[in-house]
Amino acid sequence: MPFRKTATDRQRYKGEFFTPLPFAEKALEYIEAQLGKNYLQTGQYRLWDMAAGTGHLELRLPSEVLPYCYLSTLYQDDVLTLQKHFPNAAQIFRYDYLNDDTESVFQKNIFQENISLTNNGGKQTMPEQLLNDLRDPAIKWIIPLNPPYATAQNAAMKGQSKSGVADTQIRQRMHGEGLGEVSRELYTQFLYRIKTEFKDRDTVLGLFAPLKYLLSCNYQKFRDKIFQCRFLSGFVFSSAAFHGTSPANHFPVSFILWNLRQTQTLNSQNIVLDVYNESLENTGSKYLRLAKRPQFLNQWIKRPPATIVFPPFSSAITVKEGNSDTRNRIAEGFLASLMCPGNELQNQQKTAFLSGPQVSAGALSVTAENFEQAMTVFAARKIPKNTWLNHVDQLLKPNQELPEKFVTDCAVWSLFDNKNQTAALKNVAYQGKVYQVHNHFFPFSVTKIQQWNIGIPVIRSEIESAENTYTADWLAGRNLSSEATAVFDAAENICRYYFRHLPEIPYKKYKIATWDAGWRQITLALSESSIYCYKKEFAVLRHFRDVLKSMILPQLAFFGIISPE
């Protein structure tokens, strides 16, 4: 049986989030500004909304233009609702745009009057009057569209799987053209058929959609092969305006007017959208940086081949076996692992340093050759505030060689972030072998800490014969800015306190057994100590890291890594 429960259940399963009326009205304003206030009254245009739902996009149209409108929807109950909203006016009909008439549309020229439009069963599904209008070359078209955003996947939602939600005839055609995972998206399926059906018509598409189809690297083939149109105008607002969306993961929804007849690559256009808040107040503009994969920041960092078996980590001190997709290889000269899946700001929380390979996909080995790049990438992914507006923005390669001061600032900021989860662990058993895990990111020189009060004799004796880590030597050769120096000094005060009070903190809980414990090990052990009274020092560190962050952030935009707001 099809998944049909409450309206909200159906919305979530099928991705049908009905257009908020204030933004539907705003869309009509943009259409009128582009086509003229009385564009439908002239009779030159026809309007077809192929995903009309309950007709939110058309509710504010004047009644005299409704005879020029076609409203189709997948569900019969929506047809009944539309008939109540638009009695005896618009042509309203049940129509499955992703399955009905697709063979005829793609294999025949439906604009020739001698061609019969039939589906596989031999019955024409499209209304005759609509077909006749499509065959009239003098008629212009406006397509206001808020298609469903659902993606076919294996994950279940409230006990129901989405695995078949996008399994349509259009998907099969897209898959056959090698368009990849975008063929699983319902709204790109709508765009695929629309581009075919209206490619030779004078048509303006007014599309409500997430920005993924314009920004995501997974949509590049779709943009190159299918969706090449001329941008006219548009706006963007938060998905929070839609009823039923998750408040924890809001994303930008755009309304953009496209001229479908005029072919133009998207990358060659200057696409700037007006930004509206939930109160429909214009709060500025959003420039879309359309880039291809070779321009992405995660393509900038060198990725050395990982060939050496090493225990894989799922957190700072947790080694995990048994994953079906375990990544347990490191590169020669390994210093740490940088977890950095994806290239969009929405992946900000999936960014960390570990002292072994990440247990699953999305990480690379940090070595001396890419250490500075790794520190820059970490800072670039972590420092910008992830908002609904930049949620799907791509991080790009620097537009010039980065100054030493900037790279050093990024490194110092990154080393004392909670997501620096590098650690030092003794005698780690993995696949029948025992490994020693070193913290190559320990930032202080051995000469310096030899002068400190060390609370555990065994660790003090280790320090007497220890050598500097790679990071300590790297920092010793740099000129730190005053802002970076303040961060470094504040962190040093915390580490001095840590070493002095080692016997009094739960060091065993965090597997601290060597002198080069990781920053995360140190801070967690201190935070759980009953005698810990150095919270003010952490406040000092946060303050100076915020100051350094405020220095780095505008430079990320200046060097083209993030989009200027």
Domains and CATH numbers, the chain: 7-290 (3.40.50.150), 295-398 (no CATH), 427-547 (no CATH)
| pLDDT at residue 164, as a whole number | 54
Distances (CA, A) of 40 to 28, 37, 63, 65, 310: 12, 8, 11, 6, 67
Q: What is the pLDDT of residue 84?
A: 93
Which pLDDT does position 108 carry in this prediction? 63
pLDDT given at position 247: 63
Q: State the DSSP string of 146-172.
A: -----B--S-EETTEE-TTTT-SHHHH
pLDDT computed for residue 37 by the predictor = 87
* Contact residues for 322 (Cβ-Cβ < 8 A; gap 6+): none
- Using CA atoms, how far residue 163 sits from 7, 101, 156, 157, in Å, is 20, 24, 8, 10
Half-sphere exposure of 80 (CA within 13 A, CB side): 3
As beta bridge partners, residue 208 has 255
Tokens of 323: 């994953």
What is residue 89's predicted lDDT score, i.e. its pLDDT?
A: 78
Decide: helix, strand or coil at residue 392: coil
pTM of the predicted model as reported, rounded to 2 decimal places: 0.89
10-residue block means of pLDDT along the chain (565 residues)? Answer: 34 57 96 94 95 94 94 94 89 95 76 55 75 92 92 40 66 93 94 92 96 93 95 96 74 96 94 96 96 95 96 94 84 98 94 94 96 98 96 97 98 98 97 96 97 95 96 97 98 95 94 97 90 79 98 98 90
